[in-house]
Amino acid sequence: MLRLRRFLQIAAVAALAIGSTSISAAQADDSEKVVNIYSSRHYPSDDQIYKLFTEKTGIQVKVIQGKAEELLQRIKLEGESSPADLFITVDAGNLWRAEEDKLLQPIKSQELEEHVPANLRDPQGRWYAFSTRARVIIYDKKKVKPSELSTYEALADPKWQGQILVRSSNNIYNQSLVAAMIDSIGEEKTEAWAKGLVENFARKPQGGDIEQIKALAAGEGTVAISNTYYFARLLAGNDEQLKKSLAHIGVFFPNQQDRGTHINVSGAGVTVYAPHKENAIKFLEFMISPEVQRLLTDVNFEFPARPDVKPADIVASWGTFKADSLHVSALGKNNPEAVELMDRVGWR
């Protein structure tokens, strides 16, 4: 099984390399007017950011997209000849893996250190977050009162049996939530919580966060666990019938009386052999400029990394909340234990 999994992983990387035409080793010359990005983000906001960066700096942006694990494997295989200048990804766990594999180099930037909070960046400057996302409780206001909700831990209470909607344990967002809980309450208590949560599932996990929200609106459960920006996208979309079905769905920020709501990040780091290091740093600094922070909030409905930039109106309408101040690198460090724990309790 391990050999087969390894073969499939290598095959996926090979396919990614063959299918990509945006960047090749031959294109990674000494030109000062290019930055080569390997990105696992697939959002419309990012295309706008790339275009805006080129307009303002004259630096051309070349992008290869893929899954984080495929891109990291590709950087490893390319070695010193890699054209990649920046690795961009969602989830701190992926940034931690890149750091552990020594695929990122430390940089110094007063702009980044001033505007990115300490818990959202690597102390050595190997990666920086440029946006955050909160993993919250979405609930049916017709069936659940806000006073009945409190913490992630409370979702393991038998009173929620058959009511909770959440995606599978293969999802990195769920793995990071469990990793954060391991850091906060310990592995033993987290395992007991996860076991209770699984027993309360409304159905076998299937689909992404959007599918959990739609299932909630359809009455398949009463509460769901989701990242906030998925719900905001649905509310801001053009599907009027869907938006009407979401009128009775609310957002609850858990753990406000103790550590705060779990957050994760999107972030980036300069690759270890970046041929255009200075351009990569410029792009990173551009990502935390007020203009781009507003794009990330207004187009993709993420929370800005900069504390002095406000979230989009839809997101702001849910109110302010206390976020967990845990250093997000813990999400990567605790990931192996989280995955094993979820497997033990039958979270598939």
Q: What does the alpha-carbon distance between residue 8 and residue 16 come to, in Å, rounded to a whole number?
A: 12
- Whether 322 is in a domain gets the answer no
| In the predicted structure, residue 17 carries a pLDDT above the cut 70 | no
Q: Which range is least confidently modeled, 21-35, 99-113, 241-255?
A: 21-35
Least confident of 1-10, 159-168, 234-243: 1-10
Q: Are residues 339 and 300 in the same domain?
A: no
pLDDT band per the 50, 70, 90 thresholds, residue 5: very low
Are 198 and 152 members of one domain?
yes
**34-39/60-65 β-pairing:** parallel
Residue ranges making up the domain that contains 238: 133-262+333-344
Same domain, 275 and 239: no
At 28, is the secondary structure helix, strand, or coil?
coil
Mean pLDDT of the chain, nearest integer:
92
pLDDT at 31: 54
Tell me: the pLDDT tens digits for 226-275? 999 999 999 999 999 999 999 999 999 999 999 999 999 999 999 999 99
pLDDT of 132 strictly over 90: yes
Could you give the number of structural domains in the chain?
2
Q: What is the mean pLDDT of residues 298-321?
A: 96
Percent helix, strand, coil in the chain, to 5, is 50, 15, 35
For residues 82 and 160, state if they share a domain: no
What does residue 117 show for φ and ψ, rounded to 5 degrees? -55, 150
Q: What is the mean pLDDT of residues 145-154?
A: 98
Q: Does residue 328 lie within any of the structural domains? A: no
Question: Given pLDDT bands bounded at 50, 70 and 90, which one contains residue 310?
Answer: very high
SS (H, E, C) 96-117: HHHHHCCCECCCCCHHHHHHCC
Please say if the pLDDT value at position 11 is more than 90.
no
**How would residue 32 be classed by pLDDT, with cut points 50, 70 and 90?**
confident
CATH at residue 258? 3.40.190.10
Confidence (pLDDT) at 6: 40
Same domain as 139, residue 125 = no
Residue 318 domain-assigned?
A: no
Answer yes or no: is 230 within a domain.
yes
If asked whether residues 145 and 217 sit together in one domain, one would say yes
pLDDT in the model for residue 24: 45
| 90, 228: one domain | no
> pTM above the 0.85 mark?
yes
As a whole number, mean pLDDT of residues 16-32 equals 46
**Based on the domain organization, do 180 and 119 belong to the same domain?**
no
Decide which of 43 and 75 is more confident.
75
Confidence band for 44, pLDDT divided at 50, 70 and 90:
confident
**What pLDDT, on a 0 to 100 scale, did the predictor assign at position 154?**
98
Of all residues in the chain, what percent carry a pLDDT higher than 90? 90
The pLDDT of 24-46, averaged and rounded, is 77
155 with 301, same domain? no
Q: Hey, what are 348's tokens?
A: 């598939």
Indicate the residue type of 332. G
Distance CA 268, CA 287 (A): 10
Is the torsion defined by CA of 23, 24, 27, 32 positive or negative? positive
Indicate if 47 and 94 belong to the same structural domain. yes
**Segment among 6-20, 95-109, 125-139, 292-306 with least mean pLDDT:** 6-20
Q: Is the pLDDT of residue 4 over 60?
A: no
Torsion on CA atoms 65, 70, 72, 73, rounded to nearest 10? -140
**Burial (0-12, 13-18, 19+ Cβ within 10 Å), 111:** middle
Q: Is the dihedral of CA 252, 253, 255, 257 positive or negative?
A: negative
2 has a pLDDT exceeding 50: no
Nearest to 303 by CA among 52, 120, 178: 120
Confidence of residue 13 (pLDDT cuts 50, 70, 90): very low
Pairing of strands 86-90, 164-165: unpaired
